[in-house]
Each structure stands twice: as C-alpha cells, then as structure tokens.
Structure 1
C-alpha cells in the first residue's frame, strides 16, 4: 500500500516542481540570466520566491515528518506512513500556483531558456541520486525511509530558486561558448559591409525613442535597418546582424544598453559605429552602477570606440553629457535648446500643445526650417534634435530632415497619446520611467487645460539609493498637476504618498491598490468624459508586489 502512495507522491512532486521551476526560469530570464540580479530579486521579493502558504506547508511537513518518524519508531505500523503521505500529497498539491497574474512579458522558451531548464532538472536529478544514496545506507527495515525521502524532496521543492542558480552556473560554460560563436560571426559579418553607415545610440534614457526617430528621418534618403524594440545587448545586436543585415541597407542604427561598466565598449566593438550619439545621463540602474560618474564613464565608452574619423553627437542640454562633450577632441556635433550659440543643431520658437509640437530647426550655418511633430514633451524635441544631428552628419538637408520629423510616429508606451473615442484622453508613458521622463510626462498633461487629470503609477525603480527621494519628489510634482492619483503597490509607493501628503494633497484623492487590474477597476469608477489619464511606468513582472 505504501508503494502505491509513494508513486502518487512522486507524480505530484514532479508536477509541482515543474511548475515552480518554470516560474523561476521566467524570473531569471527577465533578469537577463544574471545570477547576481536573480539573487537580488530573491532577497527583495522573498514573499514571491517563498510564498507564505508554501512556508506554512513546508514547515508543516517538517513537523509531520518528525511526528511520523517518532510514531513509527514506537508503533512500527504502516498506517502512520500512509496518513503522512496523504497529508504530504495534500500539502504539495495545495502549494502549486496554477493561476498567476498575466505577465507583461511572458516566458519565452528560447534555445537558451530550454538549455537552462534542462540544466535545472539535471541538478534536481543529481540531488535525487544523492538522496537515494543516503537512504540506501539506512537499514531496509527502517519504517521511516519513506517519510524521510518525502521530506528531502520537499526541501528540493522549497529551495528550487537556488537550484536555478546552480543550473545557471552549470550551463554557463556552454552559454559562453555559444555566445562567443554568434558574437564573432556578427563581428566578422558587419565588417564586410564597407560602405555601410553605422550609428550607435546610447544614454540613460531616450535611446530607444531616438533610435526610432533617427531611423525615420534617415529614411528620407537611405535604406535603413535598426535594431528592433529594446534589442541593445551583445546577443540581441548579434542576432540582428546575423539574421537581418544585408547589402540592401545603407544605414544601420544600433541602440546600445548597459547595466555595468564595460557593457557599451563590448557592443560598440561589435557594431563598429562611425557615428555615436549620447542622448542623456541620469540616475538609472544605480543598483549596478552605484553612482552617476560610473554611468558617465560607461556611456562615454561609445565615443572612445569611435574611429579617429568618427563623429560624436552630444545632447548639450544635459549637464553630465556637457562635461563629456567638452573633453572630446574628435569631430562632434552639439544639439539642444539652451546655450544656442555653442550648438550645431538647435530648436527655437518651441510651441508644445496637447496634440503635438512645432519648432524652428536651426544649424550653426544660419539655416532654419519650421518643423511639426506628433510627439509630446520637451524631451522628445531633444530626441528629434539628436536624429536631426545624425541626419545632418549623413548629408540630409534641413528640408529633408523636417519632412522626416513630420513622419515620426510616437513610440508605443513612451508618451503615446491614445484617443479611444470615449471623450477620455490617455497618455501611455508606461515604459521604464525615470525622474526626467516622469517630470516631462507631468509637464505634458499639464498642457491639457480645463480637464481633470488622473495619474496611474507604481513609481520608479532601479534608482539605487536615490529611489526613495526621487519617488518622493515625484509625489510632490504630481500634487501640483493631478486631480486624482492611483498608486499601484502599497509598499513601493510609500515615498510618492509621503510626497503628496507633504504638499497637503487630499487623502480622499489618493487610491492605493495592489495590482494594475485593481487600478483599472478604480480608474473606471473615477474617470469621466473630458478627463486626461496618464499611465506613468509599468513595472516589470519581477517588481510587482
């Protein structure tokens, strides 16, 4: 009888650990397969890695095992083993989370994910073999073998996130070899295109928007390939080069991202750009960079990797970029809206409305042209100027640039204006908010006069030690603009709440919810025709409370 229940127990266990392993595979994928990032996630979100129910069940199993073994030593009756197994099966089955909130970015079973998943089960099999060996050392007549075996399997199940780390270590040499193969292949391939004009774009923020803007403007004259979405890592860029780059393209626009010093150098050496653009430097990813100086150093790696005849393009309005520009002796183009006498490309007569912007585009030679754009916000004008500077470097006239600017469409989730036809205007700024972008978004909705303004936000992340104060300041800024505030995540949004209250913002106009779904329900209760709703930031799945 015990053998039958043992078989059922093993079946339930394999099913449970498959689901738990799949969840942690998703989380480590979202953390870029970096063990250090995944460990931080486990520490910060231990209540997700080790849910309260699972903790109760696991420690309940430990107590039940002790009681069962004592009972078996005293009575040596199989009934105690069967009762234990029934309780164990019920506990493990109850711990399985069949239903989770819909992920914003679903698990993708890439080849790498499949290798890691397989490696994870290799680790589990090794652990099972160790358990089997230990149990074989026990005399066969010991009645407590089955309860002890199930306790050890429960321990493997409970500590599964650490198995994923071990699996990632185990598969690391294989991944390194595979990555090197594709990196070297892309490195060699891109150098066979002798006439290809390659543009590298990096910055703490604005780089994705600038990439799309630059590509659109350059299409007035050239056949352009750009890295899609947020493909900005060595492997992402290698994939685009290996799969998509052909000799039909005349320009390749590459977004370059970084979380650590040396990351930009690696992607710049791969892509081999002749033009480098620095959009902005600010306090993002401070949990890895530690300080703004390290961010400056990392972003400047793009300029250092440009060839002697390369062209460096700088946003001179950004105080950190200005310092980098001033120390650069390569050919450079400065753009912005301040200190125009020092700039090569600049905007004047800026008029920002609720449905777009107009401005005069000027160059150092005294030429100018009026530009119209659908984009919202002053910072988007800076991104347009970056694209204009690249276009000028590649020989486009101001008139061609103006035509390109008019064709630029808003990038999804980056101050994207949506009018669903209900009388409510939605501003979707849900992609990776930062202090500058959040302030710009508030400036944009402030342009909508005589309308109620509602903001839905979980706050900003990845700002290191500055995160609390940045979110508190965000709360103060919200108080000056918005009529209602919906905060997502009670713990995470505490600094925003404090900032609002410091400005004597009414508690009755602040609503704190746990999930985006709850926020949507609350919004539907509040919103009326004529309102403006700003969605500011949408935390990745790893950050949700």
Structure 2
C-alpha cells in the first residue's frame, strides 16, 4: 500500500521530487530498510547522505536529501529539501494531519516504552493500530513515527521523551494527541534539571499538544502529581488519575506477583475488575490501569482492552523474563533471567529489585545447593551532581535484603558496591567486558538473575553472555 507519492511528499515537505515514485514506508537506517521505503538521509552521528547509494541499491523508492551525493545516476529518485530533519518534521505533521486516527501520547521518567507497547496490545483487534517502534521518542523519532502512519489508521500511539528542558512541548504539538498519559516522574536527567519538580513541569508540557477537549491520564501517587494536574487543567483537559491511592479514578486494590504473571484487583471508577499481565511486577499493573483509562478515552472497548492486557509481556530489555537451559540433558539445569538492561534510574531499579526479591529460586539443582537471587547492575546515567549518593542509597532499598549477591558494573556503581554489606558484595568492574569472561562462574542452575543498567552501561552484553550459556526459552512459553 502506498504511503507517500512523490507529489504528496514534495507538497508536505516543500521539496522537489526528481522523478515520480511511490513509497510504502519511511526509513532512516539502511540496515533495516525495506524495498519501497523512502530513505531519509538524516545528518546525525553519521551523515545519511553517505548511504543514499546503498539505500537505492537495496530497493529504496527514493531518498530525501538536502544535496545530491556524488556517484548517483542522473535519474536517481530523490526528494530534494532544504534541510533533512525539518523536512522530516513537516512530513510527520502532514502524516498526522491527513488521518482521522485517535491519537495517544505517552511520556514519563520510567516505563514509557513498555506502557506504549501495553497500549498497543490493549487496542489490538479494535481497529488499525500504529505505534512507535522501539523507543523512537525524540526529535527525529516522533516525526518519523508520524510520517510512517498510514492514512487509514484508527488508533496511533506516540511515545515522547526528553533529555533537556523544552523538548516535549514541540513534539506534543506535532503529535496533537487526543489523550496524553504520564507514567511517572522520577530523578532522571538531573544533569539538565535543577530538581524533580523541573522534570515534572517538562513532562507536563505534553498537555500543551492536546487536541481541544482532550484527556490527561496522570499518575496520582506522586509528590509532583499536583504539578501535573495543574498543567492539565491549564490545557483544558479532562483529568483521570491512576495509581494506588484512594483518590485515583483507576485504583489498584491488590496485586500478587506469581511465576511469570501479576494478577490483582482494581477499581475503575465504580467498577471492580480483575486484572492480569503476563509478566512480574506491581509497577506493570499500575501502568495497566493508566493504559485502560487511555484506551477508553480513545473510544476503544474497555473490556476487550482488559482481556488483551492479560497476555501482555514487556519488550526485550525492559523486564523480560526468560528461562536459560544450561544443560538440556539434565532435568532442572536452568536459571531464570530478568532482562532489564535498557534503562535504569533509582525508581525503575527499585521496581526491578522488588520483582527479583519476589522471584522463586530452586534448590538442589546446581553447583551451589541453594538457588540464589543475583543482581548484576550497571551505572545509572544522567543523575546529576548527586549521582554517587543516589547509587549508594540503593543499598538501603527494602528489596535488597532478599538478594544473595549484587555484582556492580561501572564507575558510578562502585558507590553501591562499597555501600553493600560484605556478605552481599559481589564483583565490581569498571567495564562490562571485564565481567563477561566470568559469566559461567557468576550464575548457576536454580538462580534468578536480574541484569539492569542504563543503555550506556552496556550490561546488555552480559544478558547475551548469560543466554549463550545455554538455550534460551521465554518464560511466557510455560503455562501460567
């Protein structure tokens, strides 16, 4: 199905098409480009113009460029624009303008991507759903998501993130959501903000993009919730609160974490409901309440959304739980791996430690007689001047008492390593590469192992190393 014709793309961007062409998708990366895509030659870490020839060889319908790269054929299909990123923004704005889709935008210090995927799942089967890939939530990710949106989309889910002040409002105005949700506000990106209140005000800027009569779905349990509510009221939005507190419209009454699932009861306005998500963690259940509110505000069926959520599990790197078979010839020679290696801050780390603390180990199946709860933790980045103290303070997290060993990776995590009791203190290394050769000695059958850290800590490489110890099986493949 055609997504953009040369004429439509030229009109949207103010550019000039060198030939007639039609594109079925939009890509910024030749590694994932599909035949028929419009290749957008962004100038970021590497200049996309250097890859235009490769993109066309791989079947790109055309390339959006601000200059003609050397060596191209005279009849190469191009869309010539003044600057590529502003042109992509204009293409995204046009993509949003031509659809009658109901649009949701999600932001928050923790849980944006998993909540976006949760909402995608909740809306499944209720119309054509278009959602951001991976964590495409920044100055190029949002317009790219909008530019990829088919005109006949029924529901769109846009993730919006930030690193510095002033980033969210322009992206929200570009997305023009009917519903905007804030998962939480936490001590993240403190290098760029004076305090958490500043982060809350930036997150609340998402409401500036709401369509008239829009809805704001707000975590009502936060110290900064009044800031979020005030911004929503200023935007003229209808407000729905979710969380644990009795003042929330959607309130979690109880949650039970079991092997591979979380089940519980909640009150949605005046209706008592049972809930389930196919992963472990009370925090996922709380965000599910917000997702149900968003889905209903978008016009979707609430009951179907609740049923769809019962099969939802987070994407890889964001709390996925899996079984690693260490020896297929011996029954029980497995360990449980919790892959949460994509992002980390004190709030999300505390939630992940709670999941690990509740996990069931198995005794008598490995070299070590008793199964262990083991955490391998990488640096939490962008925490500002108190980063060392914030790492050390995690030693006092209530879930730490249930852990046998904590291994630490990175210069910042040294503060946590030094704050841990001697009996709990595992290895500390400055770089993850130093720990990878020791993987087989760090873990054993019967263990439950959490790997978590900011993406820049590269502890995802340890996840891969643990998987390579055996044969990976998703825990969701077992009966729940």
TM value normalised by structure 2: 0.72
Pairing 1:275-314 to 2, within 5 Å after superposition = 275-314=179-218
Distance 1:179 1:228 in 2: 18
1:321 CA displacement: 2.7
Distance 1:274 1:372 in 2: 27
CA contact (8 A) 2:335 2:446 kept: yes
Q: 1:324 matched to which residue of 2? A: 228
Secondary structure of 1:427's aligned partner: strand
Pairing 1:21-420 to 2, within 5 Å after superposition = 111-112=42-43, 113-115=45-47, 177-193=83-99, 195-242=100-147, 244-325=148-229, 328-329=232-233, 330-339=237-246, 342-364=247-269, 366-420=270-324
Q: Structure 1 residues 483, 523: closer, same or farther in 2, change over 3 A?
A: farther
1:337 CA displacement: 1.6
Distance 2:125 2:221 in 1: 27
Of 342, 347, 358 in structure 2, the residue corresponding to residue 436 of structure 1 is 347
CA contact (8 A) 2:117 2:314 kept: no
**Paired positions, count:** 372
1:285 CA displacement: 0.9
Q: 1:461 matched to which residue of 2? A: 381
Instruction: Tell me how large the CA RMSD over aligned residues is.
Output: 2.6
Of 490, 498, 505 in structure 1, the residue corresponding to residue 422 of structure 2 is 505
Secondary structure of 1:312's aligned partner: strand
CA contact (8 A) 1:442 1:481 kept: no
CA contact (8 A) 2:240 2:249 kept: yes
Q: 1:56 matched to which residue of 2? A: none
Q: 1:496 matched to which residue of 2? A: 416
Distance 1:222 1:412 in 2: 25
Distance 2:457 2:435 in 1: 16
1:361 CA displacement: 3.4
Name which of structure 1's ranges 520-529 and 303-312 shifts more when overlaid on structure 2: 520-529
The answer to whether residue 401 in structure 2 is matched with residue 480 in structure 1 is: yes
CA contact (8 A) 1:475 1:495 kept: no
Secondary structure of 1:343's aligned partner: coil
Distance 1:376 1:333 in 2: 25
1:117 CA displacement: 9.5
1:434 CA displacement: 1.0
Give the structure with the larger helix fraction. 1
Q: Structure 1 residues 245, 218: closer, same or farther in 2, change over 3 A?
A: same
Could you list the per-position Cα deviations for residues 455-493 of structure 1 after superposition, in whole angstroms to 9, with x for gaps in the alignment? Answer: 11123111102311110012333752321222223x332
Distance 1:358 1:417 in 2: 16
Q: 2:24 matched to which residue of 1? A: none
CA contact (8 A) 2:378 2:459 kept: no
CA contact (8 A) 2:108 2:203 kept: yes
CA contact (8 A) 2:42 2:84 kept: no
Q: Structure 1 residues 539, 273: closer, same or farther in 2, change over 3 A?
A: closer
Q: 2:65 matched to which residue of 1? A: none
CA contact (8 A) 1:459 1:496 kept: no
TM value normalised by structure 1: 0.64
Name which of structure 1's ranges 180-189 and 461-470 shifts more when overlaid on structure 2: 180-189
CA contact (8 A) 1:227 1:254 kept: yes
CA contact (8 A) 2:161 2:168 kept: yes
CA contact (8 A) 1:438 1:536 kept: yes
Q: 2:431 matched to which residue of 1? A: 515
Distance 1:349 1:289 in 2: 35
Distance 1:192 1:216 in 2: 24
1:116 CA displacement: 8.3
Q: 1:30 matched to which residue of 2? A: none
1:305 CA displacement: 2.4
CA contact (8 A) 1:198 1:273 kept: yes
Unaligned runs of 5+ in 2: 1-39, 51-79, 327-333, 362-370, 461-480
1:326 CA displacement: 5.1
Distance 2:155 2:107 in 1: 17
Q: 1:88 matched to which residue of 2? A: none
CA contact (8 A) 1:257 1:264 kept: yes
CA contact (8 A) 1:234 1:270 kept: no
Q: Structure 1 residues 296, 479: closer, same or farther in 2, change over 3 A?
A: closer
Distance 1:270 1:430 in 2: 30
CA contact (8 A) 1:336 1:343 kept: yes
- Which 4+ stretches in 1 moved above 4 angstroms? 541-544
Could you list the per-position Cα deviations for residues 148-189 of structure 1 after superposition, in whole angstroms to 9, with x for gaps in the alignment? Answer: xxxxxxxxxxxxxxxxxxxxxxxxxx9983222221222133
